[in-house]
Amino acid sequence: MDWKAVDERLIRRGEILLSLGFLESYECELMALNRGRVGRPFKLTDRYVEFLTVVRYLFSMPYRRLEGFTRALNRLIRRLPSADYLWIRRRILTLNLSPYDSLRFSSGPIAIAVDSSGVSVHKSGGWVTRVYGGKKRYVKVHFAVDVETKEILAMKATTDDVHDSEAVMDGAYDNAEAYNLLRRMGVKPIIKPRRNARADRGPPERRLAVRLIRRLGDGGWAGMMGYGRRWAAETAFSTFKRQYGEHCMAKNMESIERELAAKAYIYNMLINL
């Protein structure tokens, strides 16, 4: 492994946190944003809001503290206006950052691993109480990860009462609906059957997997099919949680989904430096 290149990528991740490239076209972007707008004009460009979004989620910064951050930037760079925290919140929640926007281009076939993990919503007390009567709950995040690049190719957020197989996103995925969906999408499934699975029923891919496991054993089947590559999804979750913690800052499901999508966007952007 080229450790010098690894070190350089990690160093560049720090540089991007203070990348002020959006200043080069700030006035032009602001003019285009407000052209034809009725009502209060925008003071912050989308690229500046994206910069503030990165700061908020990487440092778990509340909106009021983020307002103070814009004041400090304004003192250092007079072109950048400070903004009220409510206005910052509104702009961040309407930014619609998508993980797909920061993916590396690929033209060949891709091997994907899927998994899910829980994220705490302890800051969402009001929403949890209204929906679940005060019972402690969490949000389940489902990732589809490129096993080579570790990029998050797709994601979905659900409440914790949604089973992994319903998201199709582990024997949890061992059901006919998942096999049929993947076949329609042209995806070759590698799903470990349950221990009591039978070789005379179910989708053909599942029957074949049962026969191979009986002949080769779990380890032989896993080695032959490359099942061990599913660890890539676990690695992505581990990196994601080390980066952002194991909680959401938002207070309702719609905002939680937007927050997680923005975090996945930043995650992909950083690993592709």
Confidence grade of residue 138 (pLDDT, cut at 50, 70, 90): confident
Query: Given the DSSP bridges, would you call strands 138-146 and 112-120 parallel, antiparallel or unpaired?
Result: antiparallel
Could you tell me the residue range of the domain that residue 21 belongs to? 3-95
**Tens of pLDDT, residues 56-105:** 998 889 999 999 999 999 999 998 999 999 999 999 988 888 888 888 77
The SS3 call for residue 268 is helix
| Same structural domain, 156 and 79 | no
| pTM, 2 dp | 0.75
**Angle at the Cα of 224 (from 165 to 2), degrees rounded to 5?**
95
- In angstroms, the CA 250 to CA 259 distance is 7
Among 135, 164, 149, 157, which Cα is nearest to 233's?
Answer: 149
Domain count across the chain:
2
Domain boundary among 64, 95, 126: 95
The answer to whether residues 172 and 237 belong to one domain is: yes
210 plus 105 within the same structural domain: yes
Of 115, 102, 109, nearest to 229 by C-alpha is 115
112: left (phi over 0), alpha (psi -120 to 50) or beta: beta
Share of the chain above pLDDT 70, in %: 88
Number of H helices, E strands in the chain: 11, 3
Closest CA to 190 of 212, 166, 164: 212
Q: Is the pLDDT of residue 247 over 90?
A: no
pLDDT in tens, 173-207: 677 777 777 777 777 777 777 777 777 777 788 88
What tokens were used for 16? Answer: 């991007």
Please state, as a whole number, how many other Cβ atoms lie within 10 Å of the Cβ of residue 145. 27
